[in-house]
Amino acid sequence: MQHHHSVFHQIQRHIPWAIFDRLVDDYKADHRVRRLSSKSQFLALLFGQLAGAVSLREIEAAMSSHQSCLYHVGAKLPARSTLADANAKRPWPLFAGLFANMAQTASRRTRRQMSDAVRIIDATHIRLSSLSAAWLSERKGLWAAKMHLVYDPNADAPMQIALTDQTVGDVTPAKAFEPIPGMTYVFDLAYYDFAWWARLHAEGCRIVTRFKSHTPLRVSRINPVPETGSVLTDRIGMLPERLAWSRQNPMNDPVREVTVRISTGKILRILTNDLDAPAQEIADLYKQRWQIELFFKWAKQNLRIKHFLGTSENAIRIQIFVALIAYILIRMAQATQTEVQRLLTFTRLVRVNIMHRRSICHLKTPPKPPVSDPRQMLLPGLAI
C-alpha cells in the first residue's frame, strides 16, 4: 500500500518555512519563549482554520484527539491558556509578513504578463463584540473593524490587507498601499480622490473606477461605439481644473468616460486614464470588481473570522492573517489536483480529512478497505 502523509502535512508543504523562520528571528518572536514556539502557535491556529474550530478549547480538544500524529506534522499540543497568551503577545507583523510573501507567490504563478495584472481594492466590515471597545469605536451600538483589501482576481487571492477602525475612510489605507507601476487598479466610489488618482497615474498605473453623477467632464473627443451592446458612449475630456476656489485639481491629464448599461438597466459612468483600450475592455474590467465582493462573502462564511479567539487587537490581527494564509494554502493545494473543481467542496473535504493519511489528489475517492485475508493479495489465478 502506498504511504501518504496526513492532509494537514501535505498542505504545509506550500508554507515557505525559511521565510517564516527569518521573520521569527527578525521580530524576536521566540525570545524567552519556553512552552509554545511561534511555529507551534501558527500550526495550531492554522489547524483551527482548516478544521473549522471556533474556539481555543475546540482547537485544544481536536488536536488532543490526534496527539499521536502531531509530531509528524511538526506541531505540538497547545494548552488553551498558553495559546491565548501567545495570541495576545506575539507580534502580529510576523504573520502579516508571511501572508505578504505567500500572496506575492500566488500572484506570480498566475500572472502571464503585466497587461494581465489587475488589482481590485475594496473594504468590508468585520463585526466584533463590545469586549474589543478598548481599541475600537462604537457606531450605532455596534463595534466593528474594517478590513481593507487589495485583491488579485486572476489568482483569486488577497494581496495586501490593512485593518482599521470602522470610522476610517476607505481611501485612507489605500493611499498607504505601495502602487505597482503598470498595474491596473479597479475600485468604486469610496475611493474618489483626485490626488490619489494622480499619484497612480504618475506611477504608470491604469485606473478603472466610477464617475460621480455631479462631476462634469469637458469633452474634447467622442469615440464611436457599437450600435448594439452595453456600451452607450465613449468620450475623452478633462476633469474640472479646480476642486474648490483655492485648490487646483492634481489630476490634470485627459481622462476617459465610458458609459454602460448593466443588466438591471442602471447606467454607470466609468472613468479610466487608459485612452486607447477598447471601451468594452474597460467595462469588463470594472465588472470584475464584483469578484472581491464574492471573496468577502466566501471568506466570512468559510474562514474563521466571525468568531474570534481573543478580544485584543493583536489577537484579532493574528487570526485574520492566519485565516487569509489558510485561504491561500487551500488555493495552492487545490491547484495540485484535478478531482475537485469547486473551492467550497475542496475546503469541506480538507476539513473532514484534515488528519487522515490520504493523498490530497484523491480526497473525493473513497479509500480502499485494508486487505485482511492474505489469500486476497495473490493473483486471481493463484488463489488457494
> What pLDDT score does 371 carry?
55
Q: Do the beta carbons of residue 330 and residue 347 sit within 8 Å?
A: yes
Burial (CB count <10 Å: 0-12, 13-18, 19+), residue 254 = middle
> What pLDDT score does 384 carry?
41
In-domain check, residue 226:
yes
In-domain check, residue 143:
yes
Tell me, yes or no, whether 130 and 90 share the same domain. no
Closest CA to 313 of 167, 163, 177: 163
**pLDDT of residue 3 exceeding 80:** no
Tell me, yes or no, whether 333 and 266 share the same domain. no
> What pLDDT score does 373 carry?
55
Q: How many CB atoms lie within 10 A of CB 305?
A: 21
Residue-wise burial string across 5-14, b where 16 or more C-beta atoms lie within 10 A, e elsewhere: bbbbbbbbeb
Tell me, yes or no, whether 69 and 139 share the same domain. no
What cell does 345 get? 467542496
Label residue 208 by pLDDT band (50, 70, 90).
very high
Q: Do the beta carbons of residue 60 and residue 79 sit within 8 Å?
A: yes
- pLDDT tens digits, one per residue of 285-320: 999 999 999 999 999 999 888 788 888 999 999 999
Tell me, yes or no, whether 248 and 162 share the same domain. yes
Assign residue 131 the CATH number of its domain: 3.90.350.10
| Percentage of the residues of the chain whose pLDDT score is greater than 90 | 66
Tell me, yes or no, whether 139 and 193 share the same domain. yes
- pLDDT tens digits, one per residue of 17-43: 999 999 999 999 999 888 899 999 999
Q: For residue 269, which amino acid is it?
A: R
Q: How many residues does the chain have?
A: 384
Instruction: Spell out the residues 6+ positions from residue 234 whose beta carbon is closer than 8 angstroms to its own.
Output: 222, 223, 224, 225, 256, 257, 258, 259, 279
Domain limits at 345?
Answer: 7-94+309-362
- State the average pLDDT over residues 183-192: 95
Distance of alpha carbon 120 from alpha carbon 187, whole angstroms:
6
Among 274, 296, 318, the domain boundary falls at 296
In-domain check, residue 355:
yes
Tally of domains within the chain: 2
Q: Do the beta carbons of residue 194 and residue 250 sit within 8 Å?
A: yes
**pLDDT of residue 345 exceeding 60:** yes
Instruction: Spell out the residues 6+ positions from residue 227 whose beta carbon is closer than 8 angstroms to its own.
Output: none
Tell me, yes or no, whether 196 and 335 share the same domain. no
> What pLDDT score does 228 carry?
86
108: number of CA atoms within 13 Å, CB side? 6
Q: DSSP string of 305-353?
A: -SS-S-SSHHHHHHHHHHHHHHHHHHHHHHTT-SS---HHHHHHHHHHT
Strands 184-186 and 118-128, how do they pair? parallel
Question: What is the sign of the dihedral through the CA atoms of 18, 21, 25 and 27?
Answer: positive
Q: Where are the alpha helices (DSSP H) in 164-270?
A: 171-176, 194-202
- DSSP code for 34: -
In-domain check, residue 196:
yes
Q: Do the beta carbons of residue 282 and residue 272 sit within 8 Å?
A: yes
Q: Where does the chain show beta strands of DSSP type E?
A: 118-128, 138-139, 142-152, 157-165, 184-186, 206-210, 218-222, 231-238, 242-244, 247-248, 255-261, 267-272
Tell me, yes or no, whether 132 and 204 share the same domain. yes
**pLDDT of residue 382 exceeding 50:** no
Tell me, yes or no, whether 292 and 313 share the same domain. no
- pLDDT tens digits, one per residue of 104-121: 888 876 655 545 689 999
Tell me, yes or no, whether 291 and 313 share the same domain. no
| Percentage of the residues of the chain whose pLDDT score is greater than 70 | 91
pTM score: 0.87
In-domain check, residue 165:
yes
| Residues β-bridged to residue 255 | 237
Q: Do the beta carbons of residue 286 and residue 208 sit within 8 Å?
A: yes
Distance of alpha carbon 259 from alpha carbon 248, whole angstroms:
26
- pLDDT tens digits, one per residue of 116-141: 689 999 999 999 988 888 889 998 88
Distance of alpha carbon 48 from alpha carbon 58, whole angstroms:
8
- State the average pLDDT over residues 317-336: 94
| CA angle (313, 331, 326) in 5-degree steps | 25
Tell me, yes or no, whether 137 and 254 share the same domain. yes
- State the average pLDDT over residues 83-111: 89
Label residue 72 by pLDDT band (50, 70, 90).
confident
**pLDDT of residue 372 exceeding 80:** no
- pLDDT tens digits, one per residue of 141-163: 889 999 999 999 988 999 999 99
Tell me, yes or no, whether 202 and 146 share the same domain. yes
> What pLDDT score does 236 carry?
96
Q: Which of 133-137, 150-154, 237-241, 365-369 comes out lowest in average pLDDT?
A: 365-369
**pLDDT of residue 268 exceeding 90:** yes
**pLDDT of residue 62 exceeding 60:** yes
Tell me, yes or no, whether 283 and 324 share the same domain. no
Closest CA to 100 of 181, 186, 22: 22
Q: Do the beta carbons of residue 371 and residue 377 sit within 8 Å?
A: yes
